[in-house]
Amino acid sequence: MRPDAILKELTAMTRLLEAPRVLWLCGFAATLPVQGCVNDLLQVTDPDVITEEQLKANSAAGAVALHNGTIFRLEQATAGTQGPDALFEFGGLLTDEWQSGDTFIQRNTLDQRIWDPQNTFHAGPFRAINRVRVQAGATIVALRQYQPSPATNIARMFAFIAYIEVLAGEHYCNGVPLSSFAGSQITFGEPLSNDSLFALATANTDSAFANIEGADSARVRWLAQVVKGRALLDRSQFAAAAAAVAGVPDTFHYDVTYSLVTADNQNWALNVNARRYTMADNEGDATAGGNVGLPYFSANDPRLPRRRGGPSKGGTISSDSVIFDTAYPVFVIRQGIWGRSSLIRIVTGVEARLIEAEAALHASPPDYTTWLGKLNVVRTAALVSANSPAQSGYTRGPALTTLVDPGTDAARVNLTLRERAFWMFGTGHRLGDMRRLLRQYGRTVNSVYPNGKWFKGGNF
């Protein structure tokens, strides 16, 4: 199925997911002893139903707790859950970043770009990002009432909402509903276009700017600037996008963090540890010219420390060397950027420079000197090491060299989007960029998305 059709179906599904689900406990209860269990069965907590009272604070400590909880929600939504997987991983299966090394049909069908309305993994990422949005909104109310200082905490919540709206616009088709509730009553949102989501994101970053004051103000300002620039880039407002990110330091980064007591980094857990995901490399059918995915492994790029296979045992290939689905003896490709508790840089100063570079291509006339300069200014060993720290046992490719102008507009676009892919691998940027290649640059689906025969059989 075409990727744009999958995205359309995903959006239709999200509208249904917001309706309360009917529990089937009555039939289950019939199989249990009746005495003493009826009340327990009827009083279970449905984790999908959150009341307004649960997101209210009645003290400064409660408001701060909501704020900290929203940060944790963002950790979960980006790369902190599996089965269903978080957006960075599951969305990456739809791109050329990851392939399914798993036996689970939920991961296999998405990797193969097959829409299955019964795929139980589709709901998870959408719910998770909306939990961030809803709790951030409740936190703003609580902080204003009980803990208005430092105001930067309020600004951070507005920036988070904007960031989630950008992710929703990039990962789902037109028609995403943003619902709200009062008490226990859900108010279903009207379907919004992707452009409307990006417009909302820019408005929420402006609200963040209006509340920046006190500790951590610079970092939150830069966060909001880059999120705004990303939203404007998605709207094809290139000059405004460049203006939005001006002044963000090259070395800036805003992170989500992981630990043994909160959640594992799933870029590590699903790929390095469990082998259920494998890094893609020129994904697609080479015999039919469908291998249009980027060469994340074979490029030997220092921004992507990686390793193919695993240790041998007694001269034989160990089970640790191949993907989890042993019916297909394919070597697993492990990324070496993240370990179990490694942070993920979700917004960076490097992204700001890449936005400025792409905007220069759209200047009138195009400013190729600025474009190339912005791409090259961040290709330093220090920034590569900081943004892509190699884990123990993983080696980097040779140092980056200075890029040269390839000479045509199409090649310049290819180079720009490739730089974005290698700098921001596994961080939820790639699907939005692939969609922009179709929408903004007029590329065909088969020139952007891997196609032809799928490596486990059948076709994409």
- What six digits make up the tokens of 260? 């043994």
Lowest-pLDDT range, 152-166, 199-213, 385-399, 419-433?
A: 385-399
Q: Is the pLDDT of residue 125 over 80?
A: yes
Of the chain, the percentage scoring pLDDT greater than 70 comes to 86
Strands (E), 2-64: none
The phi and psi torsions of 256 (rounded to 5 degrees) equal: -110, 140
C-alpha distances in Å from residue 77, one per residue of 64, 74, 128: 20, 5, 5
Q: What is the pLDDT of residues 324-379, one digit of tens each?
A: 999 998 999 999 999 999 999 999 999 999 999 999 999 999 999 999 999 999 99
Task: State the pLDDT at residue 6.
Answer: 47
In this prediction, residue 77 has a pLDDT band, given cuts at 50, 70 and 90, of very high
- What six digits make up the tokens of 458? 């059948």
Question: DSSP label at 20?
Answer: P
Rg, Å, the chain Cα set: 23
> Under CATH, which architecture does the 3-229 domain have?
Alpha Horseshoe (1.25)
Residues 6+ apart with CB under 8 A from 281: 293, 295, 296, 297, 298, 333
Q: Is the pLDDT of residue 30 over 60?
A: no
| Mean model confidence pLDDT for the chain | 89
**Domain residues of the chain, as ranges?**
3-229
Calpha distance 166→347 (Å, rounded): 12
Task: State the pLDDT at residue 321.
Answer: 92
Compute the average pLDDT of residues 16-40: 38
Task: State the pLDDT at residue 318.
Answer: 66
Q: Is the pLDDT of residue 38 over 90?
A: no
Measured in whole angstroms, the distance separating CA 293 from the mean position of its chain's CA atoms is 18
Owner of token pair 């069965």:
41
User: Given CA atoms 203, 433, 380, 360 in this order, what sign does their dihedral have?
Assistant: negative
Q: What angle do CA 437, 455, 392 make, to 5 degrees?
A: 80
- What six digits make up the tokens of 291? 């291998």
Task: State the pLDDT at residue 184.
Answer: 64
Task: State the pLDDT at residue 368.
Answer: 99
- The pairing of strands 277-279 and 98-100 is antiparallel
- Helix 217-234 to helix 430-439 angle, to the nearest 10 degrees? 30
In this prediction, residue 319 has a pLDDT band, given cuts at 50, 70 and 90, of confident
Contact 18, 133 (CB under 8 A): no
- What six digits make up the tokens of 138? 């409740």
Q: Is the pLDDT of residue 217 over 80?
A: yes
Calpha distance 98→280 (Å, rounded): 5
In this prediction, residue 58 has a pLDDT band, given cuts at 50, 70 and 90, of confident
Nearest CA to 171 among 252, 284, 95?
Answer: 95
- What six digits make up the tokens of 302? 């220092």
Helix ranges (DSSP H) in 259-380: 266-267, 349-361, 368-377
Nearest CA to 422 among 351, 333, 341?
Answer: 351
Ramachandran class of 370: left when φ > 0, alpha when ψ lies in -120 to 50, beta otherwise: alpha
Calpha distance 268→391 (Å, rounded): 11
Calpha distance 220→262 (Å, rounded): 23
The two counts, helices (H) then strands (E), for the chain are 18, 12
Calpha distance 238→120 (Å, rounded): 38
Task: State the pLDDT at residue 183.
Answer: 61
Q: What is the pLDDT of residues 240-292, one digit of tens each?
A: 999 999 999 999 999 999 999 999 999 999 999 999 999 999 999 999 899 99
Compute the average pLDDT of residues 230-239: 99
309 SS3 class: coil
Residue 46 class from Cβ within 10 Å (0-12 exposed, 13-18 middle, 19+ buried)? exposed
Compute the average pLDDT of residues 423-435: 99
Lowest-pLDDT range, 22-26, 37-41, 217-221?
A: 22-26
In this prediction, residue 411 has a pLDDT band, given cuts at 50, 70 and 90, of very high
Compute the average pLDDT of residues 84-93: 97
